[in-house]
Structure 1
C-alpha cells in the first residue's frame, strides 16, 4: 500500500500502527515529487532530536584543537570568489593527509576550481576549528573517480559544464563532535535543497570521519590503497543515492537543519533558547 506522505503528517504516523520505515518513506515521497526533509522539518519531535544531536553535551566535549575551548563559532561556506579561499584550501591540502588532494601551487592557475567549496568554522580570533572540502560534479565523474582514484587536479579538470547532479566530499572535520556535526549539517542541507542532486560520495582517508560514518551505519563502498611517501594510504569511499541519504536517520537529522536554525543553535546556551531555535526558518 502506498502512502501519500504529502498529506499525512509524521505525528499521525506515530499515533498509527503501520508507520513506513525511513527507507520506504524516502522512496514513496519521490513518487509524489516531495522531499523527506520537508516533511521531517515540520515534525517538532524529530527536529528536537536534530538540535540535540548538535548541541547535546557540548560543554563536556574534549577538543582536539589546542586553543579551542568550546567557544562560540561561526560557519560559512566559501568559494573561489572569497579572499580567504586559497589560504584555507592550502591549509586543508597541507594537513588533511589525503594524497589524492595534492595540488601543486600556484593554485590560482587551476581554472576549474569554481565548483570547489569549503565550509569553514571559525572561533575567537579567527582560529579555524572545523572545515569541509566538497565538490559539485556529475555522477559519471564521481563514479570514474572512485574507480580510478584520480587526484584532485585531475578531478577538477575533468569536471564538465553538464548539469551537476552529485556531490563529492573530500574532507569533513571539527575540533569537537558539535563542530563536526555542525559542519556536516551545512553541506548535507545544501545537498538536500538541490533537487537535481542525485548522489553523494564521501571520499576520505580521515579515520575520525570514517568512524563517524561507520557509526552512522554507512557501508564502505570501496577501499582504494594509494602509495604515498613510502606508506600505503587507505582511501575509503561511501556512495549514497539520494533516497539512501534521506533514509539514514543520522544524516537526515543533520540535513533538515537550515542555516538560520544552525546559526540560532550555535548562539544558544540554554534549553529554552534551543527550543525557540527549532521554530526559526
Structure 2
C-alpha cells in the first residue's frame, strides 16, 4: 500500500522507487522512456536526488509524481512537503499592488475602499446572476471600446452549460470581480487563441462536458481590487489543475495586469490582436498597445509554477 506521507522530494523518490521495486538504474531508464524532461538522467542523478544532495526542478518533480501515479498539486501544495529554494510571493504581491493602484481600466475598482477586505463569493446559481451577466457583457463591450460587442443572452447561454465555471466577487453590493471560464475541445481552443474564432461567436455547441479531455478558456475575467485578489487567483489556478483531463488553459489578456499575471505563471504568447493607437487601450506588449495578447498555459507548467504552489499553500 502506498504511503502519502513524505518529508520532501528526496523521501518521495526513495519511497516510491522502493515500492515499485526498481533499482536506481531501472528508474532512470524508465523516466527517460517516459518523458523528455529526463533525457540526461542516470542512476547517479537518482542517487543524488534521494540523498538530498540535489533536488530536481519543479517541472521534473511534477513529472516524477505523475509517473508514479500521484497528484502533483496535492503533494507540492502541502506545506509539510519541503520544497527547497521555493521563491516567495514578494515579487508577485509587489506587482499586484502596483497594478491595482492604477485606474479601473488596469484592474482597480474605483468605488470600493482599499481598506475593505470582506467580500461575498457568488456562483452562477445565485439570484443576482442574470443582472451580473448583463454587467459582464457591458464591461467587455466597454473594455474593447465596442470592437467586440457582447450581450446578456450570449453570456447566459454559455453559463447554462454544466462545465462552465462562473464566480462573482461582490463587495457591499458592488461587483468587484468575476471569473467566467468555458471548456472546449483542443480544436476550438486553438481557433480562439489564434483569432480564427471570435469569442462572441462561441455557442453552447462549442462547449464540452467537464469530464471530457479538453482545454479551459477564460472567456472573461476582472479583478477589481486587492481584497479579492488572493482568492481570485487561487481559484483561477486550482480550477485548471484539480481535474487531470484539463490539459491546458487559454486566456486573451486585454489589459496590462493580465499580461503580468501570465508572465508570473509561465504562459506562452501564441497570438496578438490589432495594434491600438490610444494610450490606455488594450494591453501593452513589446512596446505596443494591442487589442489582446493570447496566452496558452500547459497544466504541467502551471502545477510547477512557484506562484501556484505558494498561493495554494498560503490558503491552507
Compute the TM-score of the two structures, normalised by the length of structure 2.
Answer: 0.64
Q: 1:89 pairs with 130, 133, 141, which one?
A: 133
> 2: distance between equivalents of 1:201 and 1:23?
20
Indicate if the aligned counterparts of 2:138 and 2:151 stay in contact, CA closer than 8 A.
no
- Cα 1:100/1:112, change in 2 over 3 Å: farther
Alignment of 1:1-281 (within 5 A): 8-10=6-8, 12=10, 16-44=52-80, 62=101, 64-66=108-110, 67-74=112-119, 76=121, 78-79=123-124, 81-96=125-140, 97-98=143-144, 102-107=149-154, 110=157, 113-114=160-161, 115-123=163-171, 125-161=172-208, 163-177=212-226, 179-225=228-274, 233-254=290-311, 256=312, 262=315, 278=316
- Cα 1:216/1:242, change in 2 over 3 Å: closer
- Cα 1:178/1:109, change in 2 over 3 Å: closer
Query: CA offset at residue 138 of structure 1?
Result: 2.4
- Cα 1:175/1:148, change in 2 over 3 Å: closer
Q: Which has the higher mean CA deviation after the structures are superposed, 98-107 or 208-217?
A: 98-107
Aligned to 1:270: none
Query: CA offset at residue 243 of structure 1?
Result: 0.8
Indicate if the aligned counterparts of 2:117 and 2:228 stay in contact, CA closer than 8 A.
no
> 2: distance between equivalents of 1:102 and 1:85?
20
Q: Deviations over 1:20-68 (max 9, x none)?
A: 101111222221222221112223466x988989999x99975832332
> 2: distance between equivalents of 1:27 and 1:233?
35
| Helix, strand or coil at the partner of 1:25 | helix
Instruction: Give ranges in structure 1 of 5+ residues lacking alignment.
Output: 263-277
Q: Which has the higher mean CA deviation after the structures are superposed, 29-38 or 5-14?
A: 5-14
> 1: distance between equivalents of 2:120 and 2:59?
31
Compute the TM-score of the two structures, normalised by the length of structure 1.
Answer: 0.71
Indicate if the aligned counterparts of 1:68 and 1:129 stay in contact, CA closer than 8 A.
no
Instruction: Give ranges in structure 2 of 5+ residues lacking alignment.
Output: 12-48, 103-107, 277-281, 283-288
> 2: distance between equivalents of 1:148 and 1:244?
24
Which structure has the higher relative contact order (CA within 8 Å, separation 6+)?
A: 1
Indicate if the aligned counterparts of 2:254 and 2:292 stay in contact, CA closer than 8 A.
yes
- Cα 1:11/1:215, change in 2 over 3 Å: closer
> 2: distance between equivalents of 1:189 and 1:226?
33
> 2: distance between equivalents of 1:241 and 1:54?
20
Indicate if the aligned counterparts of 2:92 and 2:264 stay in contact, CA closer than 8 A.
no
> 1: distance between equivalents of 2:245 and 2:57?
24
| Helix, strand or coil at the partner of 2:297 | strand
> 2: distance between equivalents of 1:226 and 1:113?
34
Cα RMSD between the aligned structures? 4.0
Aligned residues: 252
- Cα 1:121/1:105, change in 2 over 3 Å: closer
Query: CA offset at residue 19 of structure 1?
Result: 0.6
